Each structure stands twice: as C-alpha cells, then as structure tokens.
Structure 1
Amino acid sequence: MPRWKLTTEFTFDSAHYIKDYDGPCGRMHGHSYRVQVEATSNQLHPSEHCPHPVMVADFRSLRWAKKDVTKGGLDHGVLNEILPPEYETTAEMIAKYIYDVTKKRVPEGVKLKVRVSETTNSWVEYEDDDS
C-alpha cells in the first residue's frame, strides 16, 4: 500500500509562564518556538484551496500556528491567554494543543506527529496512536 509522509517546519514567538512552577519558568518569559508537523497518509486528498486529490494535507492547514495571534495563530501572543485552561503552557501541552487543533484541519485518516522546540537543545514530540 502506498504511503506519503510530509513534514513542514515553522517558528513563532510567544510569551508564557508555567503556573505554580517554582523557578524561572514560573515567571513570564518568551521563546522562539520551532515546530515540526509530520503528516502521513495512505491516500492523497483535496484541500480547501485545491479541489484535486493531490496532497496528504495542505501546508497552509499544517502551519496555522505561525500566524499572528490576531489572525488565529500563536505568534506574538501570551500563550497563557490563548490556550484553553486544560492546556498548561509546558512544551508537552503546547505540542498537544497544536496537534489537537491541526487534527481538525486535515482530512480524516491523516496521521500527525507534532514536535515543539523551546530551545535549540530541548524538544518534545506528540502523536496519538489512536488517530
């Protein structure tokens, strides 16, 4: 069976603090987040911008988080004010949030993996085996 895997990478800059964290991360600070989204599918799909089944998922759908916060993204916002309360602003939960929102924007059957880096030497990956 054929399988396609695509990966896109982008950055966004945002501030956050980790609630009740005993240390510097408990204070407001910022990061240049680097995000990689991997999408895998056994078939190709159309998209909102292309009616032909020629892509795993539209890159525009995968890179929504890099948009300015005023346009529905995460760039130049305070994550504690943007993310719903069930998502704390750790790298783990930011990755899950980006995954959850992205999953709603891609065709059914597309498997996702999201990688979020806060620094050049620290990152987290999130994927859901049930998807």
Structure 2
Amino acid sequence: MSSKIRITKQFTFETGHALYGYDGKCKNVHGHSYKLSVTVIGHPISDTNHVKYGMVIDFGDLKKIVKNEIVDVFDHATVFNKNTPHVELAKELEHRGHNVLLVDYQPTSEMMVIDFAEKIKSQLPSHIVLHSLKLQETETSFAEWYASDN
C-alpha cells in the first residue's frame, strides 16, 4: 500500500460579519480577508491507466468543491447570526440589495470553520478524508479544525 499523503489547497475570500452581544469592537459590522487552508488525506492513485494516476485528489477537483460550498457563498457577503436581533439589520441590508448570509451560529472563525468542515466533508469522494481546516481571519489570528480532534 502506498503512503498516505496530505494535500492542501489555499483559498481567499472577503467577508463581512458582526458578532451580536459581543463586548468589543467586533459587535460592529466589519470585514476580513479570510484565508482558508483545506487539507485532505489519502493514498495517491496507483492505477497507471487512471487519468489522475499519482494524485490523491486533483487540486482542481478540490478547488471546485471548496469554491461551490464556501468561497462563492461567503465572498463579498455579510454574515449574521439569524438567532439574534441582527436578523432585522440583515433583512434591511438584503432589501437594499446587499449580499447577506444568515447562519444559525455566531459567525466567529471558530464556528465558521466547523460549518465549513461539515460542508466540505459532505462533498469529498469517499476515499478522501478531510484532515484539517485553517481559517485565518487576520495575519495573526486563525481557527483550526482537525478531524483527529472530532
């Protein structure tokens, strides 16, 4: 059996959010240039006749999944927790033509990375395992999700 290999692809997207009930500046609507690193693990394809021979997963295929599930959804959107009074603000912004995302969690990096893990896992081929996600909110702040912790 060949070695297990981890493959990582990085993505960037711009997203606004506000943390309802938070005791600091982030209670205000603001945005981040998020960087998302998606790491999957698997065995390189050993069938010499396979078009993807030698690959764990085609980077392009991984990109398609993450773009569809995360990047295209969150990029240039503003995320609010729909279980808070921010839902009123969200409706007003939507009414004015803004791209708004209502989620059922507080849109912190921690909770977003959990949401992203579920979305990506559901789309991966059965022989590929999501190993980890790293969601970077700023140059110095990030949240990580590891399959081994869950």
Ranges in structure 2 where 5+ consecutive residues have no aligned partner: 81-99
Match of 2:89 in 1: none
Distance in 2 of aligned mates of 1:41 and 1:83: 34
Return the alpha-carbon distance in structure 2 between the equivalents of residues 130 and 95 of structure 1. 13
Residue pairs, 1:1-131, within 5 angstroms: 1=1, 2-42=3-43, 44=45, 52=51, 54=53, 55-57=55-57, 58-64=61-67, 65-67=70-72, 73-80=73-80, 81-82=100-101, 84-85=103-104, 87-112=105-130, 113-129=132-148
Q: CA-to-partner distance for each residue in 1:18-45, whole Å, 9 max, x for gaps? A: 121011111110000011000111354x
The farther-off stretch of 29-38 and 2-11 is 2-11
TM-score, normalised relative to structure 2: 0.69
**2:33/2:137 contact within 8 Å kept:** yes
Identity %, equivalent residues: 29
Question: Do 1:95 and 1:115's aligned partners in 2 also have CA atoms closer than 8 Å?
Answer: yes
CA RMSD, Structure 1 to Structure 2 (Å): 2.4
**Distance of 1:83 and 1:109 partners within structure 2:** 32
Q: TM-score, normalised by structure 1?
A: 0.78
Q: Say if 1:116 and 1:124, in contact at 8 Å, map to a contact too.
A: yes
Contact 1:41-1:111 within 8 A present in 2 as well: yes
Which structure has greater helix proportion? 2
